Structure 1
Amino acid sequence: MGSTVIDIPDGEGVVPGSKEKKKKVGDICCQFPIDLFFKEMKSNKHMTRKVIHSIKVGVALVFVSLLYLLDPLYKQVGENAMWAIMTVVVVFEFFAGATLSKGINRGIGTVLGGGLGCLAAIFAQAVGGVGKAIIVGITVFIFGAAATYTRQVPNVKKKFDYGAMIFILTFSLVVVSGLRAEQVLEIARDRLSTIAMGFAICLFISLLVFPIWASDELHDSLVARFEDLAVSLEGFLIISFNSTSHSKLTLMLKSLVLHMLLSISTLAQGFSKEYFENVNEKEKSSFNFSSKCKSVLHSKTKDESLVNFASWEPWHAKFGFCYPWGIYLKLGEDLRDLATTILSLKGCLKSPTQPSESNTCRQPVKEPCEAIVASLAWTLRELGESIKKMKKCGSEDTILPKLKTVRQELSQIPGPSTLGTNNLERTDGLGLATFMYSMVEMVEKMEELAKHVEQLGQRGGFS
């Protein structure tokens, strides 16, 4: 049996589905030259780096394969050439710092594991008989258990977990093979030399041929988050005070109609999603700040790994030795706290206790809040620009005094008690108080952020 979709016009006599489709076409035409261009550029840059990394790994594998392919080299290393290939496969990472970290960890783990394993094997062979197997079992247990325990120590796990794992592997292989092999030292030496060859090839290609620095990625991603939160604040500004007002009765009726349409047509499903955002299509496409805030919230794991890799990297560009990468973690945490506050403002605006735009409780705070949010967005851009150009932002002279002024402006905004309670519902006053508290909390977190940026400039040697 066929189904019929009934178009229900809105209050202005326009069918929602057709209105939405018409605006989307216009938005696509308007946004294509700018939005899509920058998205394409960003995507192409990341894709180019992926291609470069893939080519570099392929070249490294070709070089280590020559140990097998060329007879003179094969006579020197023999079957141990397989260890060089394995080293390239497991050590070569996307970022230069990650490659250096894994390579050094693998080298330290191999040298320690191989050295101690050779000593244990030689001692076991000297004992001989049944005691040889007993000594091998005891040493494997002691060193394996001790190394595994150290892997659970936070400071060791963060930087040397891979090295501890390689130590366990190498030590166990050398000791156990020493039971059957007579030339333990020669085998360990050959394997160590081939591992060193593989690591040298990885290091040369990773650091000298189109290097991809984890420090640059961390620096750029942190700067981008300042801009994302600034855009989020501006989006919040438009959504807060320029949204279309709806009476509660009208909202309930339209909600009922939209739920009916959800069960009838997928077109109505898209329209429902647009409606409940409480902004028109143009505003939503320009200021989709929720996704930007959520991307900032999910950046902690990425920051920690990039800081770890960046701390291994050599001096390059403006990033010298002992650069204060730990402050980047503090800045990332501050930005995540700020993103949480911005999202809480969005939840506050959607709360049933929040007064509508037509309410007399909301109108007096409109212009002051617009100015305050604009000032906060400017502050975020200034701080981000300071980190991007590695120049002192002068937070003590400009940023912090401006935030102090913003705090004073917030204190002067009339609260529910000063607006009068005759024409206000109790829930409206509660909603406004929650909103103002979130604004004050945002200013406090911005001050903390400015102090950490100033600290980064001092310890990082910003000009």
Structure 2
Amino acid sequence: MRKVIHSFKVGIALVLVSLLYLLDPLFSQVGENAMWAIMTVVVIFEFFAGATLSKGLNRGLGTILGGGLGCLAAALAQKAGGIGSTIIVGTSVFIFAAAATYTRMVPKIKKRHDYGAMIFILTFNLVVVSGIRAEKVMKLARERLSTIGMGFVICIFISLLIFPIWASDELHDSIASKFEDLARSIEAICLEEYGGSNGEKENQPAVANLSSCKSVLNSRSKDESLANFAWWEPWHGKFGLNYPWGKYLHIGEHLREVAATILSLKGLSARHEPPTTLRQTITEPCEAVGSLLARSLRELGESILKMRRCHPGASIVPELKSMRLELSLFMSSSNLQPIENGDGLAMATFLLLLMDIMEKVEKLAKEVEELGELASFRTQALICPSSL
């Protein structure tokens, strides 16, 4: 439905800017420069409101700076005349194009203003070069800038006020849903493969749930794009100004670390199929660890989704530390010692990976708690379901 809404919004925007051509009173004011308004709508209207704002503001800033400096350089070239005109144009093009291209490679500028720098280079070169042949370069630049502004205003108005699609909502819900995906993956391995529910379909749920685990692992570029678009968006709904979107990216990195370890866990279990006796030996600790990890991940995801502080330090973290200690004591006992060949070593590695996941979830819980403080999540009446 959101795709249909976006398609209708783009169609409406193009109809409105086309009126500059279709209506004689408007066409008499802007003339052929109306084409720049249509080009602006096609170029900057994006799916998310933040992406439209980002491209629109970058395009406007790049056009104003490039056009202004281009007009200044063109005016100086016209006054110089002759060979001096050629020298001024060539020198100015080289200096500004090289400087703008270098700034595009600076990480912070490339992240948020790469499009603006590109538009600056394009506009500056078009204006300064055409200014040598054009007699009324200032008038031409002003008319084109005004039509670009019309297209920008129409895009922003429709994108922000008519069924807006916010990148911030998408990022918030996406990060929260990743916790559920990882919880299901943990359950698929610990409870279904190594727990007491072994059967003919033991591998089918694991394969299905691990596909979502792989999507979490490959979500970095999407998260970074959404966070960048969300940074441009104004205050709306439950997200205020200066909202800590960077913390969402940190949480996403921790989630990908957990996902990578889960996939390593699955790979180990696929390569080394333990005998039934050994599987029964680790069934109880696997079920306990799997249940705790799944519950903890769901609580953290719910904390983000509902924007309420769960105080992980008061419940989740102590439970995970206690379970890690129990698992360490289990491994140090003689449970795995009688097993010869590689099966015992493989199971010990399996349990070590489980301990590593618990440690990563502890760090994840602290990150969620910090997000709650920075974003001013509301405090629950109860500390957390797991403490009851």
1:280 partner SS: coil
1:250-261 equivalences under 5 Å are: none
1:215-254 equivalences under 5 Å are: 215-236=168-189, 237-242=191-196
Distance 2:202 2:334 in 1: 36
Q: Please state how far the C-alpha of 1:179 moved relative to its aligned partner.
A: 0.6
What does the per-residue CA deviation read over 1:59-102, in whole Å, with 9 as the maximum and x for residues that have no partner?
00000000001111111101110000000000000000000000
Aligned to 2:39: 86
1:315 partner SS: coil
Q: Please state how far the C-alpha of 1:129 moved relative to its aligned partner.
A: 1.3
1:153-172 equivalences under 5 Å are: 153-172=106-125
Amino acid at match of 2:194: S
Answer yes or no: is the 8 Å Cα contact 2:194–2:287 preserved in 1: no
Aligned to 1:261: none
Distance 1:394 1:307 in 2: 25
Amino acid at match of 2:262: I
Aligned to 2:298: 381
1:183 aligns with 2:136: yes
Distance 2:77 2:42 in 1: 34
Amino acid at match of 1:348: L
Answer yes or no: is the 8 Å Cα contact 2:194–2:286 preserved in 1: no
More moved, 81-90 vs 390-399:
390-399
Answer yes or no: is the 8 Å Cα contact 2:195–2:286 preserved in 1: no
Answer yes or no: is the 8 Å Cα contact 2:77–2:85 preserved in 1: yes
What does the per-residue CA deviation read over 1:371-408, in whole Å, with 9 as the maximum and x for residues that have no partner?
11101100000000000010001112111112122212
2:260 aligned to which of 340, 346, 361: 340
1:291 aligned to which of 197, 208, 211: 211
What does the per-residue CA deviation read over 1:323-354, in whole Å, with 9 as the maximum and x for residues that have no partner?
000011111111111011111111121223x5
Answer yes or no: is the 8 Å Cα contact 1:232–1:290 preserved in 2: yes
1:313 aligned to which of 216, 222, 233: 233
Distance 1:105 1:57 in 2: 19
1:304 aligns with 2:224: yes
Distance 1:165 1:286 in 2: 47
Distance 1:65 1:425 in 2: 79
Distance 1:401 1:282 in 2: 32
1:376-415 equivalences under 5 Å are: 376-415=293-332
Q: Please state how far the C-alpha of 1:436 moved relative to its aligned partner.
A: 1.3
What does the per-residue CA deviation read over 1:164-213, in whole Å, with 9 as the maximum and x for residues that have no partner?
00000100010011111111110110011000000000000000000000
Distance 1:369 1:239 in 2: 10
More moved, 427-436 vs 328-337:
427-436
Distance 2:210 2:94 in 1: 52
Answer yes or no: is the 8 Å Cα contact 2:265–2:353 preserved in 1: yes
Change (3 A) 1:420 1:347: closer
Aligned to 1:53: 6
1:62 partner SS: helix
Q: Please state how far the C-alpha of 1:138 moved relative to its aligned partner.
A: 1.1
Q: Please state how far the C-alpha of 1:366 moved relative to its aligned partner.
A: 1.1
Answer yes or no: is the 8 Å Cα contact 1:147–1:168 preserved in 2: yes
Distance 1:399 1:76 in 2: 66
Give ranges in structure 1 of 5+ residues lacking alignment.
Answer: 1-47, 245-278
Distance 1:218 1:104 in 2: 22
Q: Please state how far the C-alpha of 1:426 moved relative to its aligned partner.
A: 2.9
Q: Please state how far the C-alpha of 1:420 moved relative to its aligned partner.
A: 6.4
Aligned to 2:386: none
1:355 aligns with 2:274: yes
Aligned to 1:210: 163
Distance 2:63 2:202 in 1: 60
Answer yes or no: is the 8 Å Cα contact 1:395–1:450 preserved in 2: yes
User: What TM-score do you get using the length of structure 2 for normalisation?
Assistant: 0.94
Answer yes or no: is the 8 Å Cα contact 2:193–2:202 preserved in 1: no
Amino acid at match of 1:412: L
1:419 aligns with 2:314: no
Aligned to 1:105: 58
Q: Please state how far the C-alpha of 1:412 moved relative to its aligned partner.
A: 2.7
Distance 1:294 1:362 in 2: 26
Q: Please state how far the C-alpha of 1:240 moved relative to its aligned partner.
A: 2.2
1:179 partner SS: helix
Answer yes or no: is the 8 Å Cα contact 2:327–2:355 preserved in 1: yes
Distance 1:400 1:172 in 2: 58
More moved, 48-57 vs 281-290:
281-290
Distance 1:388 1:171 in 2: 46
Answer yes or no: is the 8 Å Cα contact 2:300–2:368 preserved in 1: yes
Distance 2:62 2:336 in 1: 72
1:131 aligned to which of 79, 84, 99: 84
Aligned to 1:327: 247
Q: Please state how far the C-alpha of 1:145 moved relative to its aligned partner.
A: 1.0
In the alignment of these two chains, the number of paired residues is: 377
Aligned to 2:93: 140
Q: Please state how far the C-alpha of 1:419 moved relative to its aligned partner.
A: 2.6
Distance 1:226 1:239 in 2: 20
Aligned to 2:384: none
Aligned to 2:149: 196
Aligned to 2:368: 453
Q: What root-mean-square deviation, in Å, do the aligned CA atoms of Structure 1 and Structure 2 show? A: 1.5
Answer yes or no: is the 8 Å Cα contact 1:365–1:414 preserved in 2: no
Distance 2:108 2:206 in 1: 43
1:429 aligns with 2:348: no
Structure showing greater radius of gyration is 1
What does the per-residue CA deviation read over 1:405-427, in whole Å, with 9 as the maximum and x for residues that have no partner?
22122123244x613645x2131
Distance 1:406 1:55 in 2: 54
Distance 2:91 2:161 in 1: 45
Answer yes or no: is the 8 Å Cα contact 2:33–2:144 preserved in 1: yes
Amino acid at match of 2:324: R
Q: Please state how far the C-alpha of 1:137 moved relative to its aligned partner.
A: 1.1
Answer yes or no: is the 8 Å Cα contact 1:97–1:214 preserved in 2: yes
Aligned to 1:368: 285
Distance 2:284 2:360 in 1: 22
